[in-house]
Amino acid sequence: FVVVVFPSSEQSSPPSKAATNTINERLLSELQESIQTQKYGPASPRRTPPFQYSSKTPEERERSLREARDLNGVNPLVCVGGAAFSWICAGILWVFTTYLGAVFASHPLLGEAYFVQRAVGVFRNAAMGLSSLAAGFF
């Protein structure tokens, strides 16, 4: 059972067009508002001069400067211990890099195959590069 609906012939007026520019006008007005807000800043009830001196007394200023100079409980032994650890690690890695260079120089490549020579060369360069890079980090 199918129902077919035919348009009535009573409507002779052409269909009305969709309203245009309504969304565009709204977006343009929002854009203008945001430009004005960015240009002049948000409206505030009180405008302060850009370079206003604080109302602190000289004693308060001195106290805040002393608090800023305070090292906030940094333990100097922890700093010295960290520096010593880093120095020892850098020394070990430097000795290891020197050792690798000496081993690679004293043991030349004995392979005849080209791909073996290239693979060993890449490995030696990677080992030297990573060890020297690690020594540089410390």
pLDDT single digits (tens) 52-70:
667 788 888 888 888 777 7
* Cα–Cα dist 84/119, whole Å: 38
Q: Measuring CA to CA, how many Å separate 136 from each of 65, 78, 91, 133?
A: 37, 22, 10, 5
- Residues above pLDDT 70, as percent of the chain: 71
Q: Give exposure, 79-99, as e/b (b: 16+ Cβ within 10 Å).
A: eeeeeeeeeeeeeebbeebee
Higher-confidence position of 101 and 53: 101
If one counts every other C-beta atom within 10 angstroms of the C-beta of residue 135, the result is 18
Note the pTM of the prediction, 2 decimals: 0.45
- Res 46 pLDDT > 80: no
In whole angstroms, how large is the CA radius of gyration of the chain? 39
pLDDT score recorded for residue 81: 95
pLDDT computed for residue 6 by the predictor: 58
Cα-based torsion angle of the residue sequence 60, 66, 67, 72 in order, rounded to the nearest 10 degrees? -170
* Mean pLDDT estimate for the chain: 79
38 pLDDT more than 80:
no
CA distance 78 to 82: 6
Q: What is the C-alpha to C-alpha distance for residues 83 and 77, in angstroms, rounded to an integer? A: 10
**Beta carbons of 97 and 124 less than 8 angstroms apart:** no
pLDDT surpasses 90 at 2: no
**pLDDT top residue among 112 and 41:** 112
* Higher pLDDT, residue 7 or 130: 130
CB 97 within 8 A of CB 135: yes
Report whether pLDDT(15) > 60.
no
